[in-house]
């Protein structure tokens, strides 16, 4: 299989947009956690602790999503560097690892989204007949 230097470069735009989306999710959840902690300090409601624990899990998942997204980008750049110096086999393997890292990042994203949806369903359950 022949791999050209342009192929790993295709991941740059996709990966950078994914990382931006992950960062936005992280910042939003961090804001919610701060707000809930302030509310808990005032009311000490146990359900708030459960929500904070759920959000803490989601923050951990987002951290790993970002880690594997950055690793994907790093491996893609390294693959391009190897291809630039005509180490095609090494470039091919690093590009494969880059794709694997991106796949792991996306799988973690799906997990985090499913946790988010379940939490919203719990909030809305008292409104549904």
User: Which pLDDT value is given to residue 6?
Assistant: 83
Please give the residue that has the higher pLDDT: either 111 or 15: 111
Please give the residue that has the higher pLDDT: either 98 or 127: 98
Report helix, strand or coil for 118.
helix
pTM strictly above 0.85: yes
User: Which pLDDT value is given to residue 34?
Assistant: 92
Q: What mean pLDDT value characterizes the chain? A: 91
**What value does the mean pLDDT take over residues 42-61?**
90
User: Which pLDDT value is given to residue 14?
Assistant: 86
The model's pLDDT over 83-125, given as tens digits with 9 standing for 90+, comes to: 999 999 999 999 999 999 999 999 999 999 999 998 888 778 7
The model's pLDDT over 53-93, given as tens digits with 9 standing for 90+, comes to: 899 999 999 999 999 999 999 999 999 999 999 999 999 99
Q: Has residue 1 got a pLDDT over 90? A: no
User: Which pLDDT value is given to residue 129?
Assistant: 65
**What value does the mean pLDDT take over residues 38-59?**
89
How far lies 51's CA from each of 9, 39, 57, 115, 127, in Å?
Answer: 40, 12, 10, 11, 18
Cα separation of 49 and 71, whole Å?
33
* Cβ atoms 48, 85 nearer than 8 A: no
């Amino acid at each position: 299989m022949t791999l050209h230097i342009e192929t790993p470069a295709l991941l740059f735009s996709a990966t950078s947009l994914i990382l931006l989306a992950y960062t936005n999710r992280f910042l939003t959840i961090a804001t919610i956690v701060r707000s809930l902690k302030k509310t808990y300090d005032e009311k000490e409601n146990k359900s708030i602790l459960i929500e904070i624990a759920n959000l803490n899990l989601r923050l951990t998942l987002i951290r790993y999503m970002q880690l594997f997204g950055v690793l994907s980008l790093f491996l893609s750049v390294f693959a391009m560097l190897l291809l630039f110096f005509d180490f095609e086999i090494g470039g091919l393997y690093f590009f494969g690892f880059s794709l694997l890292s991106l796949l792991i990042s996306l799988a973690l994203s799906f997990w985090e989204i499913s946790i988010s949806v379940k939490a919203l369903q719990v909030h809305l359950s008292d409104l549904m007949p």
